[in-house]
Chains A and B, each alone.
Chain A
Amino acid sequence: MSSSALKYEAATSTSLLTEVSKRSGQNLQACYQCRRCAAGCPVGEETGVTPDRLIRMIVLGDREEAFNNLLVWKCVACYTCGTRCPNNIQTARITETLKQMAKKSHAKPLIPRIADFHSAFMTSTRHLGRFNEIEALTIYETKTAIKELSQGKMKAVIDEMIGQARLALDMMKKKRLHLGVDKVKARSEVQALFAKAKGR
């Protein structure tokens, strides 16, 4: 954790803690750092930051660290941490909340691929009312390729294309690739919910 987590500022600290607590519905102040969540976190080894550390960052008001650590973006929302928490804090709700807040404030996600995937999923769902694997993956892969090409990551883009083409071929062989377009008839109703979400 960066040293900035140790600097306490009453104003920012209160607002981040209050905002995350309110949005996530979790009582972060109940955390007494027993680290049971850390022991069970399946991505903890890779993220370095574990749920208890994330809670600490928020309590201390370290906005920068709280949004830009690997746990927030790599959390697989398996809900193991919260299920085992003796104080009933569901940290996966906190990582979800921080991602939502980052999106709302147009902050740059630490791992764009992850944010772009979820956003492509929602774009497809808004369009058809149902998740369309081909449409969502096309939106996601195009967006990712453009971003990564502009950063000169040619090899990553080619590897991704080859990987996805292989999977698509495999799916076709096994009759798992669905080419039809399933649509909700009352799409306007689904889209009205999306509009309402945007206005909130």
Chain B
Amino acid sequence: MTQLAYYPGCSLHSSSELYDVQCKMVFKNLGIELKEIEDWNCCGATAASKTDEFLAVALPARNLGLAAATGLSEIVIPCSSCYSRTLVSQMTLAADPGLKASINDELSQKIKGDIKVSSILEVLLPKARSGELAAKMTKKLEGLKPACYYGCLLTRFPIDVNVPDDVENPQGMETVLKALGAAPVDWGYKTDCCGASASVNDADQSQLLMSRIFNDAVGRGANCLVTTCPLCQFNVDAYQDAVGKKYGIEKRLPVYFITELIGTSMGFDPIEMQVDRHFVDAMGLLKELNLL
């Protein structure tokens, strides 16, 4: 078993608990044990960067200190927002030793070393390329035509980051899902914004953004959406019905976490993976395609 440090973040401990459960199941089957870092705090998400520059760096920095204390060389962060904020914090601190020292003064577990901060795709992709994912497959994802939805934060950053994928037309999720027999559609809104917290504080705006995403996904013949981000997943799942009604889009698409589809290919029990916890029914399509 390989060990990876693991930062679930607040979403995976609340409204997107299913993603936490699925990550652990899928990674375990790939021979990876996720070691959740001790007593982690919220990364500040987009709220910190919109209110206080210091906290936007300092909140994820405390988690980097906790991650360093594990002695492990890599930390995986499934939530795109947590991943982005943590990586940006690490890079900002590397360039600003004064700030790092000032934050370290407050921490019991100091930031040290340079643990690799990875998104879930950075861990899964090598497994797809090496054939390890396919080797664990008991069911081919035939008939599944996902529109892979990356959202903003996997490929675009507030500072210069070496993004390990095409920034405008990423292919990471497609590569993983193709290895499992799915046929991802080509579409234009894969890196467009769902509005994130605007769904709460600027609803008309975020619903307009989501309507464009649904229109294109449906128009391209996708039968589901797939994402790695719990904030994107929640928005395009929970608000899809309301947006569809408002903008005259009839078709509803289940919105899977990538781990749900990998877990399905591994033959995991959908109830154990909590696939029944979606707003737009996500069990029906899997049943229809004989994937359960």
Chain A positions within 8 Å of B, measured between CB atoms, are 23, 25, 42-43, 46, 74, 76-80, 82-83, 88, 90, 92-93, 96-97, 99-100, 103, 111, 113-114, 116-119, 121-122, 125, 129-133, 137, 140, 163, 167, 170-171, 174-178, 182, 184-186, 189-190, 192-194, 196-197, 200
Q: A67 → chain B, closest Cβ, in Å?
A: 14
Chain B 187-209 residues near chain A, CB threshold 8 A = 191-193, 195-198, 200-203, 205-206, 208-209
Interface assignment of B40: CB less than 8 Å from any CB of chain A: yes
Contact B10 A117 (CB under 8 A): no
Known: A96-B50, A137-B200. A125 touches B59 (CB 8 A): yes
Known: A74-B202, A90-B159, A117-B201. A167 touches B238 (CB 8 A): yes
Interface assignment of B28: CB less than 8 Å from any CB of chain A: no
Contact B54 A118 (CB under 8 A): no
Q: Mark B118-157, 1 if CB is under 8 A from A, else 0.
A: 0000000000000000000000000000000000110111
Interface assignment of B222: CB less than 8 Å from any CB of chain A: no
Chain B residues within an 8 Å CB radius of A114: 198, 201-202
Chain A residues within an 8 Å CB radius of B238: 167, 170-171, 176
Contact B193 A76 (CB under 8 A): yes
Task: Report the stretch among B67-75, B102-110, B251-259 that lies at the interface.
Answer: B102-110
Interface assignment of B51: CB less than 8 Å from any CB of chain A: yes
Chain B residues within an 8 Å CB radius of A92: 158
Chain A residues within an 8 Å CB radius of B205: 43, 46, 74, 76
**Interface on chain B toward A: helix, strand, loop, or mixed SS?**
loop
Q: A172 → chain B, closest Cβ, in Å?
A: 11
Bound-state Cα–Cα, A118 to B200, Å: 11
Bound-state Cα–Cα, A95 to B124, Å: 34
Chain B positions within 8 Å of A, measured between CB atoms, are 10, 13-17, 39-42, 44-55, 58-59, 62, 102-103, 106-108, 152-153, 155-160, 167, 191-193, 195-198, 200-203, 205-206, 208-209, 234, 238, 274, 277-279
Chain A residues within an 8 Å CB radius of B152: 76-80
Chain B residues within an 8 Å CB radius of A76: 152, 193, 195-196, 198, 205-206, 209
What are 11 A-B contacts defined by CB distance under 8 Å? A74-B205, A76-B195, A80-B152, A82-B156, A90-B158, A114-B202, A171-B15, A178-B15, A193-B58, A194-B55, A196-B106
Bound-state Cα–Cα, A77 to B151, Å: 11
**Interface on chain A toward B: helix, strand, loop, or mixed SS?**
helix
Chain B residues within an 8 Å CB radius of A121: 45, 47, 197
Contact B279 A174 (CB under 8 A): yes
Contact B51 A119 (CB under 8 A): yes
Chain A residues within an 8 Å CB radius of B46: 77, 118
Q: Which residue of B lies closest to A194 (CB)?
A: B55
Q: B168 → chain A, closest Cβ, in Å?
A: 8
Chain A residues within an 8 Å CB radius of B17: 178
Among A99, A129, A176, residue most surrounded by chain B Cβ atoms (within 10 Å): A176
Chain A residues within an 8 Å CB radius of B10: 130-132, 182
Bound-state Cα–Cα, A121 to B85, Å: 15
Bound-state Cα–Cα, A114 to B198, Å: 8
10 closest A-B pairs (Cβ-Cβ)? A121-B47, A178-B14, A79-B156, A78-B193, A117-B201, A131-B10, A118-B47, A78-B152, A197-B54, A129-B41
Bound-state Cα–Cα, A96 to B59, Å: 17
Contact B15 A193 (CB under 8 A): no
Known: A76-B209, A125-B42. A193 touches B106 (CB 8 A): yes
